[in-house]
Structure 1
Amino acid sequence: MTEQVTAFVRHTPLPPSPPPASQTGMVKWLRENLFSSVFNAILTVLALYFIYKILAGFIPWMMNGVWNTSSIAECYAVLDGKRGGCFSVLTERWHQLIFGFKYPSDQYWRPSLSFILLLISVAPVLFSKLPRKMLLITAIYPFLAYWLIWGGTVIVPLIGLLGFVGGFKVFQAMAQQKFAVGFFAATFAALLIWYLGSYLSAPLSNFIALEAVPSRDMGGFMLNIILGTVCVSLSVPLGILLA
């Protein structure tokens, strides 16, 4: 008698099995990036050791820091031989570190507002999903920041803005003939507007004017931000022009 064998055919696939622990998650990342070879494993262990040594010295020094003493000697007395930083100079002279030695203290709001507006003005340049109309803020910001930081009448940055706008309009009209013609015509138009506008700045020196602050009275973090912003902003158009 022949034994009958009934074939079984699965109509639904088996659910996938989870991958091994060594092939997923943090374990996989560590194995592939930090311990992929003996040499990389040694480098990883050495790096972790150096990080530990740095943090073991830095964290107690930071946590034991003294912020409210009037002198180094008093700071050492408070520490009493313990490891710690003397940070009182930061709380005592923070305004000098940020704004410089001579910037008027009652005018600190001006560079502070300029810094906030700087973040807003660069946002549409860095993030393309923001409304393109925000680029108008980016274009106006250099002139507004100049007025806020250096002070004086608002007429000066307005004339500067009008010079650039006039030069741009002339360039658009003349560049169709030749780029060089448009460039030199735009330069001449901007210089002409600035020259004629200079006659308005003197009689209108008190028109919407802020207290004037000369460049020699600026310093600290504020000065670094100004130089960095100006250099980076000018490097792009000048690089394109010279290319």
Structure 2
Amino acid sequence: MLSSVLVNGVVVGCIYALVAVGFTMIYNATETVNFAVGESLMVGAYLLLTFDKFLGWSYPLALLTTLAMAGLIGFVVFDRLVSRPLMTASMLSRVIALMGLASVMKGTVRLIWGADAIHMSSPFSTKPIVVGPVEISQQEIAIVVVTISVIALLYLFFQHTRIGMAMRATSQNRRAASLMGISVTGVFAAAWIIGTMLSALGGVFLGPLLLVDPDMGSIAFKSFTAVVLGGFGSLPGAVVGGI
């Protein structure tokens, strides 16, 4: 019993970690607290549900399309429509705008998909794998493996790519980064794109574990707790806090 609880805790913690990392990336780059992170998670679940269950696409294609659509939402909706026009506004103004956007996103989902909860099937076998006293499903293994892989890729991204290093520089000193020739607006866009994709991926993983409904994004606020526990603005802390 205890081993099952620990496994479930780690699996759900991995989902929290993904969302928390995306949340922290956006905050570090834009100094904006994204109160619509739960709605990004929810939209990710609904998009995959649409492509996989309703349209009958293969799961890999549905997943890639979902992440691409999430990135597009991050760029067009969050960055272009909300963040960039309010770049010089106060933190409170940006928070209010994002809370309003969250309400709009939730209302739009209710109009398109309805308010009833929908079951999302998993592409993995439900038969558990027994390792000693521990039982773990293929779905849970996939969540842990993908989370570790994503965190590793993000580490390489921040350490070895120009845009990743630009994001690190901007998070430390936005004015100095701008004087060095770094496109701060480009960094903002990249942060919103990647952050929204990570939240959507969290929704994709959470959907089969729960029911998909317009209020499922409320669970993302536990990721905010992970951010606080790990140290606000710390990416490694967000991972540790989530798990």
TM-score (normalised: structure 1): 0.28
Q: Could you say which structure has the greater relative contact order, defined with CA pairs below 8 angstroms and 6 or more residues apart?
A: 2
Q: By percentage of residues, which structure has more helix? A: 2
Report the TM-score, using the length of structure 2 for normalisation.
0.28
